[in-house]
Amino acid sequence: MKIRNTVLALLSVFVLGTMASGDVSAASQRQSSKKAHSAKAANKSEKVAKSAPSKASRVASVRKPGRHATSSHVQRASFASVAPDMDNEGNPLLHSAAFMIADQATGNVLLEKNSDAVLPIASITKLMTAMVVLDARLSLTDILTIASDDVDTLRGSSSHVPVGTELPREDMLRLALMSSENRAASALARHYPGGLPAFVTAMNRKAVSLGLRETRFMDSTGLNSANVSSARDLVKMVSAASRYPLIREFSTTANYTVSLNGRPRQFNNTNALVSSPDWQIGVSKTGFINESGKCLVMQAWLLNKPMIIVLLDSFGRFTRVADAQRVKRWLESAAVQQKLAANMRGPAT
């Protein structure tokens, strides 16, 4: 009995040991399986991570093209807004048949087209009329009278200055330059020593002295289409006119009131740009007859420099002013580009 109990005890110990060993083996297998699964998952995650960018990377890769697209869009929009007024070389598309834009201080020509073409200049003539009057040093307080000889019989143009009007020479000069009054310009020549023939001779002599090779005058008003010049010559003529303080003042006066037969009458400048706060104009003169088309010459301060703008034979009522505005925008945009380029290069070392 004792031996039997001993055997049974030994068998119990064997069985319990085997079960414990099996539990340990199973647990080990489960742990190994879990580790293998974790390793497999980790390996899969690593492969996914390598094949796909992180969230930050995805955000960066999305935003970067977006910024470039926005920049390109802005550039395209900016180009589209400028393109209609620009040619392939970035110069303004002007609609005047002949023109020249020059830096008065240096003489450098910035832009030109048909600048040597000899064309009728209409009332641009009056700048020369004013120079001849002032060169003669005639009294500006002398009273001049508008006569029937001053009436336009060539083209039948109207005037706000009736026959019989009496005004000082200074007011006649002002009206001729500011409002392009033909009767005032005619009276100035008629009251010159020697009359109109002597006055026209003095005009042509002055043209020669200024080196105007393509310029000829037949009257003091510009109604005669034989009054001709070129854009190149007119740059010189405007430059010369800018040396006369009264021409600068009278040609850029926005409006002026005179007494005509006891009644006040306001006269306005034929160039609306002289009233614009965006322009600083030193000399201005417009002109028009059928043969010349719309004309405009100016000395204006642009980029803090005196620039001379000559626009001849502009088709349409507003073309000459629109062309002047295109020139201004072009010069200012060029200056902006230069400043941007200088800033990009950084300070000099």
Among candidate residues 226, 227, 196, the one with its CA nearest the CA of residue 125: 227
Q: Clarify whether 113 is annotated catalytic.
A: no
SS3 category, 43:
helix
Angstrom CA distances, 304 to 91, 234, 310, 332, stand at 20, 22, 19, 11
181 touches 161 (CB < 8 A): yes
- Which of 96, 126, 230, 284 is labelled catalytic? 126
Q: Name the helix (H) or strand (E) containing 310.
A: strand 305-314
Paired residues of 99 in beta bridges: 113, 311
d(CA 260, CA 252): 22
Q: Which amino acid is at 184?
A: A
Q: Which residues contact 239 (CB under 8 A, 6 or more apart)?
A: 104, 299, 308
The 3-state DSSP class for residue 291 equals coil
Tokens at 25, concatenated: 């083996």
Map residue 144 onto helix, strand or coil. Answer: strand
Q: Is 285 among the annotated ligand-binding positions?
A: yes
Report the alpha-carbon distance of residue 162 to residue 327 in Å, rounded.
38
Both tokens of 44, joined, read: 């899969």
From 179, 180, 239, 251, active-site residue: 180
Q: Indicate the DSSP class of residue 145.
A: E
Spatial contact of 172 and 142, defined as CB atoms under 8 Å apart: no
Q: Are 255 and 141 in contact (CB under 8 A)?
A: no
**Active site includes 123?**
yes
d(CA 314, CA 221): 20
Strand partners, 96: 314
Q: Catalytic: which of 123, 220, 239, 314?
A: 123
In contact, 127 and 241? CB cutoff 8 Å: yes
- The Cα 188–Cα 130 span in angstroms is 9
Q: Which residues contribute to the annotated binding site for substrate? A: 285
Q: Which residues contribute to the annotated binding site? A: 285
Please identify every residue annotated as catalytic: 123, 126, 180
